[in-house]
Structure 1
Amino acid sequence: MASTREWFESVAEAQRRARKRLPRSVYDAIIAGSERGVTLADNVAAFSELGLRPRVAAAPAQRELATTVLGFPIPFPVLISPTGVQAVHPDAEVAVARAAASAGTIMILSSFASKPLEEVVAANPLTFFQIYWLGTRDRLRALLERAKAAGVKGIVVTLDWSFATRRDWESPFIPDRLTLRNMIKLAPQALARPAWLWAYLRRGKLPNLTVPNLALPGQRPPTFFEAYFEWMHTPPPTWTDLAWLRKQWDGPFLLKGILHPEDARRAVALGADAISVSNHGGNNLDGAPASIRVLPVIVEAVGGQIEILLDGGIRRGSDVVKALALGARAVLIGRAYLWGLAANGEAGVRNVLELLRSGIDETLLGIGKASVHDLGPDDLVIPPNFSAGLSTTVAHWRCRDPSSHPLPL
């Protein structure tokens, strides 16, 4: 169907609408990556290198898209990846949770979210909670207890975020608090996007820059950067620490940020139920390969002992099919649904999810497959040395202006 005011035909269109609606700093916060943005761009470019093998008169009239992730049935293999404070829309994570619930899929809530996890679980009972290794073991144990009391279905531990000050690719100014001085500084941007500003003002609020899910009992919620400061000053976890954390949670347990086969094997050994092959959307170690490039070697390393998800660069249903063909159980999306949220709130997130669902179905039809469970590497055209490293195009990319970016972010 053609794009209308209430419907966009592609994730790229959602991105264009988000860019027109959001203040520059808010939009830049979504598209920014670490250092030169090489990994950020390679996440998308790598999918473009993979071809599909079309078949005709081979697929049934109805294709099977449903799968299970960590024991939970979902109608198609796309999950909501955790992202921090979602200032793109006043309803933020609650709107995303409702859209995911409407689609029947899993919502993974960031511990750095702007909405309390209890509200998000109420909006989508199929909610997982994402945490970092932050603070003391007692602090982490209390966080898990709150998650369990709220009805969270599983825990996602993010390991692919290690930088402190290197997010310099188009990195915007993000205030710690909306003080009078900061509001004056940001006012021209907000006034230039009246629809975004009005969405907040008509609810009688300003963007929430606190993270309520990291609040200690009896204390006010920390700001994003207060929590970030605590994380920066917590020694990074060892595999022994992660094994301890696994023992504190008796439900589904996923490690996010695996890019090395030895790390995948260690995840299996400590008892993780699943891993996500991820480079934090290009927001961590710049120069790391795209997630899809290392997926095959991770799949080979774990030998079916653990469920494997993929996070990074998903922009269309055919990307999902390519990830599944290389061994992923399902994928997680981040920027794509944030653009949908910015473009049209909850309906925009539903729009993105429907685009991916229908794109998966159409791709299965095009390659003559009856089910997502029938996919394999033979359905793809894989160039030589695909997994060897960054693409030539991305490795020589030097563009600094996201508005003229030669590759779709």
Structure 2
Amino acid sequence: MASTRTWFETVAEAQRRAKRRLPRGVYLALVAGAEAGVTMNDNISAFDELKVRPHIADLPPTRDLSTTVMGQDISMPVLISPTGVQAVHPDGEVAVARAAAAAGTAMGLSAFASKPVEEVGAVLDKLLFQTYWLGSRDEILARAERARAAGAKGLIVTLDWVFDSRRDWGSPYIPERLDVKAMARYAPQVALRPAYLGRWLRSRSLPDLGVPNLGPREATPPTFFGAYGQWMGTPPPTWADLAWLRAQWDGPFMIKGITRPDDARRAVDAGASALSVSNHGGNNLDSTPASIRCLPGVVDAVGDQLEVVLDGGIRRGSDVVKALALGARAVMIGRAYLWGMAAAGERGVTNVLEILRQGASETMLGLGRSSVHELSPDDIIVPAGFALDHKG
């Protein structure tokens, strides 16, 4: 069906609507990759290099997209990736969680989220909590235990970050807090987007730059930049640190940010039950290869010792199928659902998930596959030199 006022038929259309509805600085914060954006762009363009091999007869009348990831039965192999402070809609992560629940899938909630984990856990059973290595061991463990008490079924530790905030096209202004000076600076942008302002006025709130999930529930949340400063000041974890945290958390445990086979093998040794092949959406170290280029080598390195999820560049249902054919259990999406929420709130997130569900089902029909578990490398044409060396 064609896009209408209340429905968009592609993620690209969701992005166009988000750009029209968000203040320029907020929009740029969603789309910007590190430095020249080489990795961010490769995350998307790499999928175009992979070709599918369709059949024309004996095609399956129905397709089963359901699978299991981190102990969660999900209706399709698409999970919500954890993203930081969301200023695109007043309902923030709670709206995303409701959409994920309606779609029958799981959601990763960031420790830098704008909504408390208790509010998100109240509307979504399939909740995974994400944290960075931030603070002392005791603080990290207390953060995880708070999430567990709120209903989190799995823990995600994100490690792909080197604090590079440089953008060749300029970084958007993000204030420490929404004081008079900050609001005056943003006023010209907001005035050009009255619908965005109207949403916040109707909610009787302003974008909250606090991060409520880093400390005890009753504590005053630190500001985003206050938390960011603490994160920068925390020594990076060792593999022994990760093994320690895994030993404290007896549920599903994912290490996110892996691109190398040797790191994947170390994740197995550390006891991880899942890993995410990810380059932080191109927001980490620029010139890192696209996640999908790294996927085959990681899958080959770990076999069936743990679940492999791909994060980065998913814009179409065919992208989902390509990732699964190359060995991923599922994919995670970030920018795509944020654009959907900017375009139409919870309904927009639901719209994006349905686009990916329909697109994946259609691609599987063409490939003659009745279940996502039947997909294999034989369904994809991988050009020479596409995948990275499996040994590195």
TM class by shorter-chain length? Answer: over 0.9
Structure 1 residue 169, shift from structure 2 partner: 4.5
- Identity of matched residues, %: 66
Structure 1 residue 337, shift from structure 2 partner: 0.2
Structure 1 residue 388, shift from structure 2 partner: 4.6
Task: Find the aligned partners of 1:358 and 1:13 in 2 and give their Cα distance.
Answer: 16
Task: Find the aligned partners of 2:240 and 2:282 in 1 and give their Cα distance.
Answer: 27
Structure 1 residue 165, shift from structure 2 partner: 3.7
Task: Find the aligned partners of 1:70 and 1:215 in 2 and give their Cα distance.
Answer: 25
Aligned to 1:26: 26
Task: Find the aligned partners of 2:265 and 2:167 in 1 and give their Cα distance.
Answer: 30
Q: 2:22–2:196: 8 Å Cα contact kept in structure 1?
A: yes
Aligned to 1:245: 245
Task: Find the aligned partners of 1:83 and 1:379 in 2 and give their Cα distance.
Answer: 32
Aligned to 1:186: 186
Q: 1:34–1:169: 8 Å Cα contact kept in structure 2?
A: no
Deviations along 1:254-293, one digit per CA (max 9) or x if unpaired, are: 0000001010001001110000000000000000000000
Aligned to 1:207: 207
Aligned to 2:316: 316
Deviations along 1:225-276, one digit per CA (max 9) or x if unpaired, are: 1100000000000001111111111111000000010100010011100000
Structure 1 residue 58, shift from structure 2 partner: 2.6
Residues 170 and 359 of structure 1, relative CA distance in 2, 3 Å threshold? farther
Task: Find the aligned partners of 1:78 and 1:170 in 2 and give their Cα distance.
Answer: 32
Q: 1:129–1:147: 8 Å Cα contact kept in structure 2?
A: yes
Structure 1 residue 170, shift from structure 2 partner: 3.9
Q: Which amino acid aligns with 1:345?
A: G
**Does 1:174 pair with 2:174?**
yes
What residue ranges of structure 2 are gaps of 5+ in the alignment? Answer: none
**Does 1:226 pair with 2:226?**
yes
Aligned to 2:47: 47
Deviations along 1:293-337, one digit per CA (max 9) or x if unpaired, are: 010000000021110000000000000000000000000000000
Secondary structure in 2 matching 1:386: coil
Q: Which amino acid aligns with 1:341?
A: M
Residues 218 and 14 of structure 1, relative CA distance in 2, 3 Å threshold? closer
Task: Find the aligned partners of 1:301 and 1:128 in 2 and give their Cα distance.
Answer: 25
Task: Find the aligned partners of 2:189 and 2:166 in 1 and give their Cα distance.
Answer: 24
Task: Find the aligned partners of 2:351 and 2:2 in 1 and give their Cα distance.
Answer: 13
Aligned to 2:135: 135
Aligned to 2:161: 161
**Does 1:256 pair with 2:259?**
no
TM-score (norm 1): 0.93
Worse-superposed segment, 202-211 or 281-290: 202-211
Aligned to 1:268: 268
**Does 1:61 pair with 2:61?**
yes
Q: Which amino acid aligns with 2:160?
A: D
Task: Find the aligned partners of 1:360 and 1:176 in 2 and give their Cα distance.
Answer: 41
Deviations along 1:338-364, one digit per CA (max 9) or x if unpaired, are: 000000000000000000000000001
What residue ranges of structure 1 are gaps of 5+ in the alignment? Answer: 390-409
Secondary structure in 1 matching 2:122: helix
Deviations along 1:45-88, one digit per CA (max 9) or x if unpaired, are: 00000000011113211111111112221111000000001100
Q: 1:134–1:231: 8 Å Cα contact kept in structure 2?
A: yes
Task: Find the aligned partners of 2:144 and 2:162 in 1 and give their Cα distance.
Answer: 22
Worse-superposed segment, 165-174 or 364-373: 165-174
Q: 1:264–1:302: 8 Å Cα contact kept in structure 2?
A: yes
Q: 2:143–2:215: 8 Å Cα contact kept in structure 1?
A: no
Q: 2:99–2:350: 8 Å Cα contact kept in structure 1?
A: yes
Worse-superposed segment, 50-59 or 287-296: 50-59
Task: Find the aligned partners of 1:387 and 1:319 in 2 and give their Cα distance.
Answer: 16
Q: 1:277–1:295: 8 Å Cα contact kept in structure 2?
A: yes
Secondary structure in 1 matching 2:204: coil
Secondary structure in 2 matching 1:256: strand
Secondary structure in 2 matching 1:28: helix
Residues 348 and 217 of structure 1, relative CA distance in 2, 3 Å threshold? closer
Q: Please, what is the CA RMSD of the aligned residues?
A: 1.1
